[in-house]
Structure 1
Amino acid sequence: MAAIDSVQHRKYTAGLQTEVDAAFLYDRIAAAEEVPAIAGMFRELGAIEREHAIKMQEKLARDGVAITLPPPSWRARVLDRIGRILGYGYVIGVMMDTEKSISAAQLSQKEKSHIPISGDEANHVKILQTLLNNKSKVSGEHISRIEGKHRSIGGNALRAAVLGANDGLVSNMSLVMGVAGATDAGSGVLLAGMAGLLAGALSMALGEWISVKSSQELYERQMALEMLEIETNPEGEMRELALIYIAKGIPEAQARQMAATAIQDTEHAHEILVKEELGINTEELKGSAWEAAIASFLLFAVGAILPVIPFFYASGYQAIFQSLAFSTAGLFLIGAAITLFTGKSVWYSGFRQVLFGLAAAAVTYGIGKLIGVSLSG
């Protein structure tokens, strides 16, 4: 039997770590879940991931590589810490995205290699989908709780925090380097950097406020219109409810009976139609536009202040080099934070972020230098 090469070994080792991390996180989510039925399904997901890890370990052993199951990685432990602090809804969103990506990759690889599809590739995704969609196993109220958690991840406050800081850092570093190139890092750099910080942060805050507020106003208008339709044409809305149930696979007679029962309670019927027909998650209406705006302002400012700090106490090339050092450290940390969502190597993601950020700074510095020379000449 041919031994696996180093590339294959790294591939299997990384895959083994992914399965161990997933099992750990699903167990942690299950332990924090208050609803027994939902907790049980998360535990089942964890069991599937452990089974995958054991099978992968056995495959390595057959190929002559003895390896013990690794402990949860730093990434998994950080996500668990985030879950304990901010709620495991954040972690559920990351896990769902990860599981779907892994399943799609496995299916694609098997198709390319002409390996038969066993059906096990998407077990974990299917369980999550069952948790979200199978109302015979989990009550509608509980499903709504999970759907609300996952949809709140779509906008992902944590992801937004990382990207907001990245926007502030890259944009203001480029501005600072451009002005430094044009003025040989004179006193104008500090003024330009602070102006860029405030302008960018205020723009981000205003944009976020408008986005959240306009979405809420649109949803509220649609919900009010749906209530008006129920009050003025309950028979038509009852038929809509019946069609929604039929589309979900419920027998026609049962669907019409369920619709007739639901329409008797106006508030309940409105809640169902808002969710099923309009696709509106009422949890999104509870968010504060001002909180979103303030958070966007602060996150942008945190990134934008890094390249400016050295110009408070230094000037010339000393300030430029220190500014690049501060910015490089910030870019690497942002790249490392992104791996919480992508699962990529910290070094790969961190250095990629540094490379792109410094490339942008080099371009603007060069342009600033040319402009400065042109003006002085």
Structure 2
Amino acid sequence: MSSTVDSRMPELHHAHRDVTGGWLRPATFGVMDGLVSNFSLVAGVVGGGASAQAVILTGLAGLVAGACSMATGEYTSVSSQCDLARDEIATERRELEANPDEELRELTLIYEDKGLRPELAAEVAREITAQPDVAWRVHVREELGIDPDDLPSPWTAAASSFAAFAVGALIPLLPFFLGASGIVPALLISAVALVVTGGGIARLTARPMWFGGRRQLLLGGLSAAVTYGVGLLVGTGVS
């Protein structure tokens, strides 16, 4: 019996990456935001004449404040998104109970639009509608475009964002922890980090690595140049 069942199981030739877990976007945004914003912050205070100690203090304050802000924002954003999705799911379930015939017709039309013959579409819709616990999930996926069993986690998004931002924001500070006092070491290590992280993220999302690395280097370098220029113009001479 088991051999018969096993022979009917589809052979898996590949595995898909998790694209709905709620971690990739905040982690990607977090590490890049941490790296670019803190490098820009460091460049600004160095341009203004700050000492190495002042740069470290400013950079650590930027790291903590930015990581907390990113985590709070991601948690609120994803929580709101999930609350809205759950409300729409509840609405769809109520519609299925109140207007089953209309919902059956709606599902039939959906399958017709996907290319099924009208008779087959109606038969499939009836089979699904006959299973209430399956029907509402199918309606939610087909009409709302979301998976009710795989909503993103606010905590995952917040933790990913916090950790990624902290890692990115720490990179421009490393040369100052090791005794550097100028912007050049921070510039070099940040440029390498921008290229590496940009290329890695591009690879993860099936884009060319050179494209992602070059894009992040350009954007990060431009941001740092602007803040460094502001620091030079203001010339506060922080000590």
Q: TM-score range by the shorter chain?
A: 0.7 to 0.9
Equivalent residues in 2 for 1:340-355, closer than 5 Å: 340=203, 341=205, 343-344=207-208, 346=210, 350=213, 353-355=216-218
Compute the displacement of 1:197 (Å): 1.0
The answer as to whether partners of 1:187 and 1:315 remain within 8 angstroms in 2 is no
Gaps (5+ residues) in structure 1? 1-33, 43-87, 91-148
Equivalent residues in 2 for 1:1-377, closer than 5 Å: 35-36=10-11, 39=13, 88-90=15-17, 151-152=19-20, 157=24, 161-285=27-151, 287-314=152-179, 316-317=181-182, 320-340=183-203, 341=205, 343-344=207-208, 346=210, 350=213, 353-372=216-235
SS of alignment partner, residue 108 of structure 2: helix
Q: 1:12 — aligned with what? A: none
1 CA distance for matches of 2:106 and 2:208?
Answer: 45
The answer as to whether partners of 1:178 and 1:368 remain within 8 angstroms in 2 is yes
State which drifts further: 226-235 or 304-313. 304-313
Gaps (5+ residues) in structure 2? 1-8
AA at the equivalent of 1:321: V
Compute the displacement of 1:205 (Å): 1.0
The answer as to whether partners of 1:212 and 1:289 remain within 8 angstroms in 2 is yes
1 CA distance for matches of 2:207 and 2:88?
Answer: 39
AA at the equivalent of 1:336: G
Aligned Cα RMSD in Å?
Answer: 2.7
The answer as to whether partners of 1:185 and 1:315 remain within 8 angstroms in 2 is no
Compute the displacement of 1:255 (Å): 2.6
Compute the displacement of 1:323 (Å): 1.9
AA at the equivalent of 1:297: F
AA at the equivalent of 1:284: D
TM-score (norm 2): 0.82
SS of alignment partner, residue 45 of structure 2: helix
SS of alignment partner, residue 306 of structure 1: helix
Provide the identity percentage: 41
The answer as to whether partners of 2:39 and 2:190 remain within 8 angstroms in 1 is yes
Give CA-to-partner distance per residue, 1:175-212, whole Å, 9 cap, x none.
Answer: 11101111343532222111111121112111211222
* Count of aligned pairs between the two proteins: 229
Q: 1:200 to 1:244 in 2, by over 3 A?
A: same
2 CA distance for matches of 1:254 and 1:337?
Answer: 46
Compute the displacement of 1:338 (Å): 3.7
1 CA distance for matches of 2:209 and 2:131?
Answer: 53
2 CA distance for matches of 1:349 and 1:254?
Answer: 46
Q: 2:5 — aligned with what? A: none
- Tell which has more relative contact order, 1 or 2 (C-alpha 8 A, sep 6+): 2
1 CA distance for matches of 2:173 and 2:49?
Answer: 15
2 CA distance for matches of 1:333 and 1:293?
Answer: 23
2 CA distance for matches of 1:269 and 1:240?
Answer: 12
2 CA distance for matches of 1:327 and 1:305?
Answer: 10
SS of alignment partner, residue 35 of structure 1: coil
The answer as to whether partners of 2:26 and 2:158 remain within 8 angstroms in 1 is no
Give CA-to-partner distance per residue, 1:309-334, whole Å, 9 cap, x none.
Answer: 233353633xx332223212212212
AA at the equivalent of 1:293: A
Give CA-to-partner distance per residue, 1:145-166, whole Å, 9 cap, x none.
Answer: xxxx5x538x672x65344312
State which drifts further: 259-268 or 294-303. 259-268
2 CA distance for matches of 1:212 and 1:266?
Answer: 28
